[in-house]
Amino acid sequence: MIVAVSSRASVWATRVAVRMGVKPVEMKRFVKFVVVGGIGFIVDFGIFNILRLIFLALVPPTWNTAAVTTASTIAFLAAIISNFMWNRYWTYPDARGKSFRRQFAQFVVVNFAGIAIRGPIVYFTHKWFGDLVIAATGMSTVAGEAIGDNLSSVLAVSIVMFWNFFANRYWTYNDVE
């Protein structure tokens, strides 16, 4: 399935790249990076929602923000590992001139900067999104907060994706043509 999506996306990326004056290989890498990001998104949000339910069941309501932020951070760490493996072996297979350890360390540094960007976004927006959903839809508090928590994570992931692509392309995987 990933190969089929990738080949269709690759043809599209080549056409767009030629029109934009971007190297087709860079556009293909970006498309692969986005596909890997989609896999990371599934890993991230799956783990986030499982941990969110567990943590919220274990802590008093006054600790909800800490529980949601912690679940988000752990999920992000799991996605980092998944994304590194996919990017090293699929998006940038020609970037294996660096040692695994060095490249992984660089990838982790970039992604920890991403956590530093993501954490405050989730922390400061999850309650606002939850309140907005509850007010706009009349949903129960539990359902509205769950949707709000996920909306704050979507916002954070969307912002951090661009940071991760450019920082990793020009630092972690800078040894590719």
Residue given tokens 């799956």 in the structure block = 46
3-class SS of residue 1: coil
Average pLDDT over residues 10-37: 81
Q: At a CB cut-off of 8 Å and minimum separation 6, what does 54 contact? A: 71
Q: Considering only 15-29, 121-135, 151-165, which range has the smallest mean pLDDT?
A: 15-29
DSSP letter, residue 59: S
pLDDT at 49: 92
At 73-116, the pLDDT tens digits run 899 899 999 999 999 999 999 888 889 999 999 999 999 899 89
Q: Which long-range contacts (CB under 8 A, 24 or more apart) does 133-136 make?
A: none
Residue 10 scores a pLDDT above 70? no
Reading the block at residue 111, the tokens are 């992604």
> Taking the CA of residue 46 as centre, how many other CA atoms within 13 Å lie in the half-sphere pointing to its CB?
9
pLDDT at 61: 86
Residue 118 scores a pLDDT above 70? yes
pLDDT at 1: 59
pLDDT at 5: 60
CB 33 within 8 A of CB 91: yes
DSSP letter, residue 98: S
Q: What angle do CA 115, 119, 125 make, to 5 degrees?
A: 145
Average per-residue pLDDT for the chain:
89
Q: Whole-model pTM?
A: 0.69
Q: At a CB cut-off of 8 Å and minimum separation 6, what does 160 contact? A: 114, 117, 118
Residue 163 scores a pLDDT above 70? yes
Average pLDDT over residues 11-21: 73
Judge residue 167's burial from the number of C-beta atoms within 10 Å of its C-beta, 0-12 exposed, 13-18 middle, 19 or more buried: middle
pLDDT at 6: 60
Residue 133 scores a pLDDT above 90? yes
